[in-house]
Chains A and B, each alone.
Chain A
Amino acid sequence: MNLNQNENTEFANPPITREALPDYQDAIFESVASGFRRYTLVSTLIFLLPLILAAAGLWAVPFIPLAHWKILAVAGTLLVPLALVGVYRWIDAGYRGWALRRHDIIARAGVFWRSITALPVARIQHVETTHGPLERAHGLARLKLYTAGGLTADLVLIGLDRDTADRLREHLVEQIRRRDAESDSTSDE
């Protein structure tokens, strides 16, 4: 709303000092849902399980002519990186977060290589929430935000709880709807 009042007084263009600019660092970040850590653990285990079973099977079946250390080596080279990815995701879940301001939505992620991404609400074209079966079991959902021109989602917030994701979606959809209605009425003049 505020945005469009500015639009009508477009020619008033007061200079903005650097200090007066709203700082994105002041945004209050919400961490991801509490179930997200468990979700990363479970999904990593589900990935690992077939490998572990296969290794155990090879170990147990007597007539397979493979030395035990070979099975261990092969399983280890596959399992260790996957387990590390799991650990990474576990730690990442602690840092991951999002913040909603009036005019943009900000997401942060990463453990070693950290990124903070800000997407102005005015640029969002379309919003959707999705949840896979495993996410559903943990009461989680992800929010996908699309901007003009792109074919893939421009910003995906993972690890939100279902309720938050739905409310965020409704809020953003409402903002987009209001914005479009206003820009339509101004362009028809």
Chain B
Amino acid sequence: MQSSWKALPVSAIGALYINGIQRFVRENLIAFFGAGTGFAVSDSLGWREFGLGAGLVLLAGLLIAMIYHRRFRYRVDEDSVRVRKGLFEQQELKVRFQRVQNVGFSQPIYLRPLGLIRVTLETPGAAQTEVSLPGIASGEATALRDLISGATGRRTESEASTEACDDEPANAEPTAAFTASAADLFKYGMTSNQIWILLAIFGAPASSWIESRVSSWIEQLGTSGLLDMEMLRGASLMLALFVGLLIVSVALLLMAVSGLLAIVRFSGYRLVRETDRFKSRFGLLDVREKSLKLSKLHGIQTVQTVVGRMLGQWHAIGHQTGAVQLEQAMNNERRFLIPGIDEDRLESVVDTLRGRAWDVPAWQGIHRRFRSMLWGRVSLALILAALLVWLLLPGHVAWPPLAILGLNLLLLGSIHLHWRRWGYALDGERMRIRSGLIGQKIVEFDLARCQQVAINTSPYQRRHKLASLAIRLPHGEQTIPYLPQPVAVEIVNLLLYRAENSPQHTL
């Protein structure tokens, strides 16, 4: 391959610029909010100053993008990629092909007319050592990918299959293991937890806006004489109904928005299985291509959320090695997500991921003291609260304590459901853990991939010979509460045995 330092194409400056501005805005969102309120409050600062500031930022961004482009050099050698970058201090990164676990392609809408692709080389380990080429010609990108998959394939696969892998882009698209239609994706968006994030972002401003509108509207009605305030006060039931309706409609609206976002994000989702990897391709505005090497796949998670249960929707996540960081938990870039799986196709998708048929395991439950302990503590707290409320409220009104007791019953029911959902299944090499309340989450992992095990006991657990397990996996921690102590000990011994005997020393 060519082994000289190369610059990014000039057209990539635009991409760098947009990317940089996006990141600047995203990272300083809070500061922007602060500045926004500052502008709103202060009289001396107007739109002119705001425009001036924004213009300065945009100009500085352009300058930075140009310098960054000027100083960015990359070089593809026989077995590695090297990147030199940095605005003020020069940084040089080198990634050996063997270390690359994933070649990510991403083509945002503004790169499409330029024929450029952003390439990210993911390596196990911290996110900041990841090498990314912010915009190279698409032909070069696929060549690079084939070179890397060839290099890593040689290590794991025979030469023949490597060649098959190389020929691949020229061939017609292989049959997909899973495709998601727009309807599937819409349903996924509605069921995904993204809705709570949306609610958090838009909920507070929206509710204050609605409140101000409603109160001004009521005032208007009051002053216009169409409606006198006395009548309105009488109709408290109507008001409650109205508020309830409002909440439901806002929730439905958010779900619809979330569904649409999912369509935009995952549009045309295709999952393809190749000899040694999975590949997924999706996106409307930002076309992405992700791959997941079979040898790096160490955990499979299938999730059904509460809403998902009503709609019969699941999604699956292929876990691969990577630092568990807050940043990643928020943008989920590294997760290999398969959205919008309906109940009928779940089995086939999971089979594809596992590479063998999904046998329904005999779930082992956790000890029933988990339930009785929680029942006892929650009931004690709430009954005490109800008593206190009854004693302290003037006139000894009956309904608030009764409401608390009703809540108690509800909690007891959900504790029962939660307890019943906990389950694990061991088959010597792999372990499956199920948890949830109304929805459910099933995680399956190789015992050999465990990184650390902890046995935790509280005084209550020790009295009853129980223990909780915390298993640290490369993607995060997995717990099983309230196992009988001998069982917990046995699982720990097995985990350690498998981890210490596995041929993959590190991941």
Q: What is the interface of chain A, defined by CB distance below 8 A to chain B?
A: 3, 6-7, 10, 16, 18, 21-25, 103-104, 112-123, 125, 147-151, 154-155, 179-180, 183, 187
Which of B276-284, B301-309, B317-325, B374-382 participates in binding chain A? B317-325
Known: A7-B503, A22-B493. Contact between A116 and B124, CB under 8 A?
Answer: no
**Bound-complex Cα distance A149 to B462 (A):** 33
- Return the contact of A117 from the options B452, B462, B499 (Cβ within 8 A): B452
Q: Evaluate contact between B322 and A149: CB separation under 8 angstroms.
A: yes
Known: A24-B489, A149-B322, A150-B324. Contact between A16 and B503, CB under 8 A?
Answer: no
Q: Evaluate contact between B501 and A118: CB separation under 8 angstroms.
A: no
The residues in B between 449 and 507 inclusive whose CB is less than 8 angstroms from any CB of A are: 450-459, 462, 472, 474, 489-490, 492-494, 496-497, 499-503, 505-507
Known: A112-B459, A148-B321. Contact between A123 and B506, CB under 8 A?
Answer: yes
**Bound-complex Cα distance A180 to B505 (A):** 8
The 19 listed contacts between A and B (C-beta, < 8 Å) are A18-B490, A21-B493, A22-B497, A23-B493, A24-B489, A24-B492, A24-B493, A24-B496, A103-B500, A113-B456, A119-B451, A148-B506, A149-B322, A149-B324, A150-B324, A154-B451, A154-B472, A183-B505, A187-B98
Does B345 reach chain A (CB closer than 8 Å)? Answer: no
**Bound-complex Cα distance A45 to B17 (A):** 56
Q: Evaluate contact between A149 and B323: CB separation under 8 angstroms.
A: yes
Does B126 reach chain A (CB closer than 8 Å)? Answer: yes
- Return the contact of B452 from the options A16, A113, A118, A183 (Cβ within 8 A): A118
What residues of A have a CB within 8 angstroms of the CB of B492 in the complex? Answer: 24, 118
CB of B445 to closest CB in A, whole Å: 14
CB of B418 to closest CB in A, whole Å: 21
**Bound-complex Cα distance A187 to B504 (A):** 11
Residue-wise, chain B 393-404 has the 8 Å CB interface mask toward A (1 for contact) of 000000000000
**Bound-complex Cα distance A120 to B499 (A):** 7
Q: Evaluate contact between A148 and B474: CB separation under 8 angstroms.
A: yes
Nearest 8 Cβ contacts at the A-B interface: A103-B500, A117-B454, A21-B493, A120-B499, A115-B456, A7-B503, A123-B451, A149-B323
Q: Evaluate contact between B496 and A104: CB separation under 8 angstroms.
A: yes
**Bound-complex Cα distance A16 to B498 (A):** 11
**Bound-complex Cα distance A114 to B92 (A):** 46
**Bound-complex Cα distance A2 to B40 (A):** 70
Does B125 reach chain A (CB closer than 8 Å)? Answer: yes
Known: A115-B456, A125-B506. Contact between A148 and B451, CB under 8 A?
Answer: yes
Q: Evaluate contact between A149 and B501: CB separation under 8 angstroms.
A: no
B452, B458, B459, B502 — most chain A CB neighbours (10 Å): B452
**Bound-complex Cα distance A22 to B490 (A):** 10
Q: Is the interface of A mostly helix, strand, loop or mixed?
A: mixed
CB of B162 to closest CB in A, whole Å: 16
CB of A171 to closest CB in B, whole Å: 16
**Bound-complex Cα distance A151 to B155 (A):** 29
What residues of A have a CB within 8 angstroms of the CB of B453 in the complex? Answer: 117-118
CB of B189 to closest CB in A, whole Å: 30
Q: Evaluate contact between B474 and A149: CB separation under 8 angstroms.
A: yes
* B324 and chain A: residue at smallest CB distance: A149
- Return the contact of B323 from the options A25, A104, A150, A180 (Cβ within 8 A): A150
Q: Evaluate contact between A21 and B503: CB separation under 8 angstroms.
A: no
**Bound-complex Cα distance A120 to B500 (A):** 6
Residue-wise, chain B 72-94 has the 8 Å CB interface mask toward A (1 for contact) of 00000000000000000000000
**Bound-complex Cα distance A155 to B451 (A):** 11
Other A-B pairs beyond A117-B453, A148-B321, 9, CB < 8 Å = A7-B503, A113-B458, A116-B455, A119-B452, A122-B499, A148-B125, A149-B126, A151-B325, A183-B506
Q: Evaluate contact between A16 and B456: CB separation under 8 angstroms.
A: no
A18, A115, A120, A147 — most chain B CB neighbours (10 Å): A120
Q: Evaluate contact between A25 and B489: CB separation under 8 angstroms.
A: yes
Q: Evaluate contact between B324 and A104: CB separation under 8 angstroms.
A: no
Q: Evaluate contact between B496 and A103: CB separation under 8 angstroms.
A: yes
- Return the contact of A21 from the options B458, B497, B505, B507 (Cβ within 8 A): B497
- Return the contact of B499 from the options A113, A116, A123, A179 (Cβ within 8 A): A123
